[in-house]
């Protein structure tokens, strides 16, 4: 046990005491409130002291700690030494707990009703993190202190990777808040007011999880070089499922706030979003998927705790929901199919369904283990099941923009229908001519464009009367539809070409003339590849990167963005090429004779003076050549350095052999020359050549993904602005 471990152990004791205190507060024993509060503060302080101490260890290169030596090295930049804190499993649990206790301070201040229950259930959630944090502690020591650390994987030395984990853990931590409010409502049998307090947190969850997912995806696209931003890996799905759950919850809460409906559904969704975070943690951290996921951690001895917590939380929360179920009275929601409420209901249904199918896919090794050989599903599973849902969601999204919150007359609805439908049909037909031949993709494009145009139209039409901030939700829906379109088109219709580029020889790839011009060594472990890309009269320069590290080879792609597509250049391997058979070199010292190309060559002397041109330096090598037929001749290839330090090699033609001789290198002190004999009129053949194995991918309409994202962010900002203004008025 060392200082850091003591901090964690004490923090855990304080957390337990605080939880017990809040339990008594919840049971109307108000005397415990003060103690519970102060134990909470003490816990917060201790957790952050532990985080601070770990940062201190990183900054001071304390490699006796295996977490520090595993993720840092003495030559690492200071800012990366700090972010190495969350580079691995142990530190990321600590960070997660740290963010959790901070959010708790805010929850404590805002929970006006049943604060005891809210904080009790919040602490129950925190104890999960505290348990894991103690079991896989970042303060474990190395048996032998290494001289230097292993260093941080170069891929993590990236801006997006520095901020992605804290944001995703903030998202995870926020689902604990939703759980606490929902459970408190159930425990205290007060089902009507919790949504008021939990609603901002649900929005917070959607934003944090969404931002974390997008940052991770953007990082993958920009730096990983496999050309994608999403690979349906369990670690990715573990954040996707709670995100979809919180999206459904926000929509359900909107209806509950306006009509008092969906009370049970919302309680269920708030609890489930939290349980999905716990389940995702179990799947990815317990080692049960170790054989199926590249990201999964091996079991660090916390498997049993993860299972116990998962079962405990599930029984406690769903059990309480079932027991209380009969006493929860909801209002009826509007069931007219032409109401916005009805489309919100359908939208929620399909989002939950999609989340459920993703959950099924990521759990497949466990599900199939029950019936036989454990099997993981192929990525096609996610596409097969989610494409039809995407199609239907597009339709629902479009419809939701065409119907108002109150029931409207059929005539009104029919009047709004033709324009979006017509645009969607036109775009789908154009897509078909452009090569989209898959029927379900065409249908998807149709409904996606329908959703996009219907929402965008509603937004634009209402700007005049309501201003740009009022219908932020329409902008979010527009962006969402746009993003889905971008995802399907860019992944379904990207074209790959893998080829070997010989240095200096252009090749036509993906409609571009691409030339591999050379390699530049930037540092000991970084090599930059230079490529020229020509298209008509335009020339671009691309420089993908190879980085070698203890963690393996990293290939940084180069992405050339165009309006309608990205050209994604992923370097795979460099190969050194030997000289061709017709290019021969020979090293000679003064007076030495060598056999080459069937003749005898003898280096006589240097000739420095006779060819002086201006200020340029020019040295010749006088070589005596005895041809195979016995004739002897003298040649004098020259090595020139001009005023601006350019080297020019002047060949000497060997009559009777039909070859050129070049003076490639010389050493005047030792009287040594390097001669090159070739058929060619230039010495290019003698500079060492490389070949680059490269994958060039054309990704159509990927900008729709990022543009959609911008609209979502913009729409969210507008909505937030509108709500804040409403509260102030």
Map the footprint of other proteins across residues 272-331, applying CB under 8 A.
284, 291-298, 300
- Closest to other proteins by CB, 161 vs 170, is 161
- Residue 574 binds other proteins, judged by CB under 8 A: no
Residues 6+ apart with CB under 8 A from 477: 397, 400, 401, 451, 455, 715
> With contact defined as beta carbons under 8 Å apart, do 532 and 558 qualify?
no
- Closest to other proteins by CB, 24 vs 226, is 226
Site for other proteins in 594-633 (CB under 8 A): none
Total length of the chain = 729
User: For 471, how many CA atoms within 13 A lie in the half-sphere containing its CB?
Assistant: 23
- Closest to other proteins by CB, 69 vs 678, is 69
DSSP E strands, 111-192 = none
Burial of 594 (C-beta count, 10 Å sphere; 0-12/13-18/19+):
middle
- Residue 566 binds other proteins, judged by CB under 8 A: no
Choices 51-59, 148-156, 477-485, 524-532 (CB under 8 A): range interacting with other proteins:
148-156
Give how far Cα 215 sits from Cα of 166, 223, 293, 348, 417, Å: 11, 12, 21, 25, 36
Among 97, 99, 107, 155, binds other proteins (CB under 8 A): 155
Site for other proteins in 474-503 (CB under 8 A): 487, 490-491, 498-500
Choices 52-60, 560-568, 632-640, 689-697 (CB under 8 A): range interacting with other proteins:
689-697
- Residue 573 binds other proteins, judged by CB under 8 A: yes
For 440, the token pair is 């379900």
Through-space distance between the first and last CA atoms of the chain, rounded to whole angstroms? 56
Site for other proteins in 49-88 (CB under 8 A): 66, 70-71, 87-88
Among 315, 419, 522, 553, binds other proteins (CB under 8 A): 553
- Residue 224 binds other proteins, judged by CB under 8 A: yes
| Distance in Å, CB of 385 to other proteins, minimum | 5
- Residue 505 binds other proteins, judged by CB under 8 A: no
Which among 218, 88, 65 has a CA at the least distance from the CA of 152? 88
- Residue 552 binds other proteins, judged by CB under 8 A: yes
- Residue 148 binds other proteins, judged by CB under 8 A: no
Choices 6-14, 44-52, 182-190, 217-225 (CB under 8 A): range interacting with other proteins:
217-225
Choices 30-38, 174-182, 370-378, 587-595 (CB under 8 A): range interacting with other proteins:
370-378
Which among 528, 530, 534 has a CA at the least distance from the CA of 518? 530
Give how far Cα 205 sits from Cα of 197, 317, 633, Å: 14, 19, 85
| Distance in Å, CB of 363 to other proteins, minimum | 10
Binding mask 128-147 for other proteins (x = CB under 8 A): --------------------
- Closest to other proteins by CB, 47 vs 161, is 161
Give how far Cα 261 sits from Cα of 188, 238, 278, 467, Å: 20, 29, 28, 29
- Residue 375 binds other proteins, judged by CB under 8 A: yes
- Residue 367 binds other proteins, judged by CB under 8 A: yes
Choices 122-130, 230-238, 304-312, 663-671 (CB under 8 A): range interacting with other proteins:
230-238
Burial 695-727 (b: 16+ CB within 10 A, else e): bbbbbbbbbbbbebbebbbbbbebbeebeeeee
| Distance in Å, CB of 510 to other proteins, minimum | 15
Among 33, 49, 357, 404, binds other proteins (CB under 8 A): 357
Spell out the long-range contacts of 438-441 with Cβ–Cβ below 8 A and sequence spacing 24 or more.
438/492, 440/387, 440/388, 440/391, 441/488, 441/489, 441/492
Q: What is the 3-class SS of 394-463, one letter each residue?
A: HHHHHHHHHCCCCCCCHHHHHHHCHHHHHHHHHHHHHHHHCCCCCHHHHHHHHHHHHHHHHHHHHHHHHH
Q: What are phi and psi of 501, to 5 degrees?
A: -100, 120
Among 331, 336, 582, 682, binds other proteins (CB under 8 A): 336
| Distance in Å, CB of 84 to other proteins, minimum | 11
Binding mask 234-273 for other proteins (x = CB under 8 A): -x--------------------------------------
Residues 6+ apart with CB under 8 A from 473: 715, 719
- Residue 225 binds other proteins, judged by CB under 8 A: yes
Number of residues that bind other proteins (CB under 8 A): 83
């Amino acid at each position: 046990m060392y200082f850091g471990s003591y901090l964690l152990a004490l923090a855990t004791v304080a957390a337990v005491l605080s939880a017990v205190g809040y339990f008594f507060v919840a049971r109307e024993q108000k005397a415990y409130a003060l103690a519970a509060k102060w134990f909470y503060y003490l816990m917060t302080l201790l957790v952050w002291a532990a985080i601070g101490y770990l940062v201190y260890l990183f900054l001071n290169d304390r490699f006796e700690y295996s977490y520090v030596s595993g993720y840092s090295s003495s030559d690492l930049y200071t800012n990366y030494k700090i972010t190495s804190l969350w580079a691995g499993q142990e530190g990321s649990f600590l960070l997660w707990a740290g963010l959790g206790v901070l959010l708790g301070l805010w929850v404590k201040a805002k929970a006006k009703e049943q604060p005891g229950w809210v904080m009790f259930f919040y602490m129950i959630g925190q104890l999960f993190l505290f348990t894991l944090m103690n079991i896989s502690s970042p303060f474990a020591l190395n048996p032998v202190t290494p001289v230097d650390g292993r260093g941080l994987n170069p891929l993590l030395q990236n801006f997006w990777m520095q901020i992605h984990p804290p944001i995703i853990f903030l998202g995870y931590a926020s689902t604990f808040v939703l759980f606490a409010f929902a459970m408190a409502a159930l425990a205290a049998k007060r089902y009507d007011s919790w949504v008021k307090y939990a609603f901002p947190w649900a929005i917070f969850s959607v934003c944090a999880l969404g931002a974390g997912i997008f940052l991770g995806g953007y990082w993958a696209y920009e730096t990983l070089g496999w050309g994608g931003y999403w690979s349906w890996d369990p670690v990715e799905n573990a954040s996707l499922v709670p995100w979809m759950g919180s999206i459904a919850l926000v929509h359900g809460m909107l209806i509950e706030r306006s009509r008092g409906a969906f009370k049970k559904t919302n309680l269920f969704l708030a609890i489930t979003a939290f349980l999905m975070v716990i389940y995702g943690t179990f799947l990815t951290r317990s080692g049960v998927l170790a054989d199926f996921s590249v990201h999964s951690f091996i079991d660090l001895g916390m498997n049993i705790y993860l299972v116990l917590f998962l079962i405990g939380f599930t029984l406690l929360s769903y059990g309480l929901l079932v027991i209380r179920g009969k006493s929860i009275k909801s209002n009826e929601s509007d069931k007219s199919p032409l109401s916005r409420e009805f489309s919100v209901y359908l939208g929620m249904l399909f989002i939950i369904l999609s989340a459920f199918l993703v959950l099924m896919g990521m759990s497949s090794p466990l599900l199939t283990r029950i019936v036989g050989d454990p099997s993981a599903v192929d990525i096609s599973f996610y596409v097969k099941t989610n494409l039809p849902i995407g199609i239907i969601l597009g339709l629902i999204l479009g419809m939701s923009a065409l119907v108002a919150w109150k029931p409207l007359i059929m005539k009104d609805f029919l009047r709004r229908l033709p324009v979006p439908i017509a645009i969607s049909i036109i775009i789908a037909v154009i897509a078909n001519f452009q090569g989209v031949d898959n029927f379900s993709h065409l249908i998807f494009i149709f409904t996606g464009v329908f959703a996009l145009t219907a929402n965008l139209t509603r937004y634009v039409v209402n700007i005049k009367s309501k201003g740009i901030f009022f219908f932020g939700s329409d902008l979010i829906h527009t962006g969402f539809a746009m993003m889905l379109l971008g995802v399907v088109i860019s992944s379904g219709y990207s074209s790959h070409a893998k080829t070997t580029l010989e240095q200096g020889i252009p090749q036509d790839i993906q409609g571009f003339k691409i030339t591999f011009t050379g390699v530049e060594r930037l540092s000991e472990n970084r090599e930059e590849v230079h490529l020229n890309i020509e298209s008509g009269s335009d020339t671009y320069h691309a420089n993908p990167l190879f980085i070698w590290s203890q963690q393996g080879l990293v290939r940084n792609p180069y992405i050339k963005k165009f309006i309608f597509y990205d050209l994604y250049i992923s370097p795979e391997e460099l190969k050194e090429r030997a000289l061709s058979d017709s290019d021969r070199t020979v090293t000679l010292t003064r007076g030495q004779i060598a056999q080459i190309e069937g003749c005898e060559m003898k280096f006589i002397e240097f000739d420095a003076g006779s060819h002086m041109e201006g200020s340029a330096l020019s040295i010749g090598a006088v070589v005596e050549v005895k041809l195979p037929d016995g004739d002897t001749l003298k040649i004098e290839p020259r090595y020139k350095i001009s005023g601006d330090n350019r080297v020019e090699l002047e060949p000497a033609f060997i009559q009777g052999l039909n070859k050129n001789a070049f003076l490639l290198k010389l050493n005047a002190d030792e009287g040594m020359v390097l001669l090159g004999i070739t058929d060619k009129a230039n010495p290019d053949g003698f500079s060492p050549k490389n070949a680059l194995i490269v994958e060039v991918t054309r990704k159509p309409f990927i900008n729709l993904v990022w543009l959609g994202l911008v609209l979502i962010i913009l729409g969210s900002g507008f909505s937030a602005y509108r709500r804040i203004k409403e509260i102030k008025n």
